[in-house]
Structure 1
């Protein structure tokens, strides 16, 4: 499948699990499509980029490992995402990566993700947490920052401060996740 064919196939993806799952099967069966899919993800002014985000996220949910050889490209461009419908799946991907990275038994991912990557994910997550974004992106960011904070001790006090400052104005879902995160910080 060429990049153009991949682009055209993204027109048929919608928000349903079924359609996102179909795209994930195609991507995981053809890992050479991951880089072109990421290139479409980061065509941020094109409405198809959001559908590419959904496909990439679902692929990562099934297996994060085929995405790892492209981690430099992903991390370098993550800050360019601006549409809310794209931010949530990218925040989820960061969360999936951090959950795998901080597992004790997964050295594969630790070979791909370095300190600079962790710093860039930290920056993106704080931006999503502090910015005017929906709760899902903030929740995924909280998890990432909680995990990365075990490696960079300065993160936990900053995370705690942000959560406490924004707690009163947060939605019920935000407050629930913030309470959960704050409890783990104690």
Structure 2
């Protein structure tokens, strides 16, 4: 399947779990589709990029190791994503990566996620926390930053400042997640 054919196929992706999973499995079964999928995802001003992001997130949810050869590309370009429906899945993929990296079970992400990748994820997560994003990317970013802060000492104090500063202006979902993270930071 060419990039153009994949682009046309992405028109059929919608919010349903069934469609996202179908196309995620198509990509898992045909890993040569990952580079064109990422290319479409990082065409950030195109609405189809959001559908590519949904498929990419589901692919990572099913088989996270599939991202390994593309970690450089993903972390290099993820901060350019700005359309709301694409930011959420990109933030979720970051959370998948960080959770796997700090997981107690052995996995391939631990050996392939570099310091540079983690720094780019930290930068993107703080951008999502500071910018006017919806609750989901902020929640994924909070979790990622909390875990990263156990290794990188300056993250927890900065994260706590942002959570406390934004607390009153945010939704009840943000407040619940922020309280949870702040309690963990204070321990």
- State the TM-score, normalizing by the size of structure 2: 0.97
1:79 aligns with 2:88: no
Distance 1:39 1:112 in 2: 21
- After the TM superposition, which segments of 4 or more aligned residues of structure 1 sit over 2 Å from their partners? 104-107
Q: Secondary structure at the match of 2:169?
A: coil
Residues 163-178 of structure 1 mapped to structure 2, 5 A cutoff: 163-178=163-178
Residues 23-102 of structure 1 mapped to structure 2, 5 A cutoff: 23-102=23-102
Q: Secondary structure at the match of 1:12?
A: coil
Task: Give the deviation of 1:168 after TM superposition.
Answer: 1.0
Alpha-carbon RMSD: 0.8
Deviation track 1:83-126 (CA, whole Å, cap 9, x = no partner) reads 01110000000000100011132341122111111111000000
- State the TM-score, normalizing by the size of structure 1: 0.98
Stretches of structure 1 lacking an aligned partner (at least 5 in a row)? none
Counterpart of 1:116? 116
Counterpart of 2:146? 146
Stretches of structure 2 lacking an aligned partner (at least 5 in a row)? none
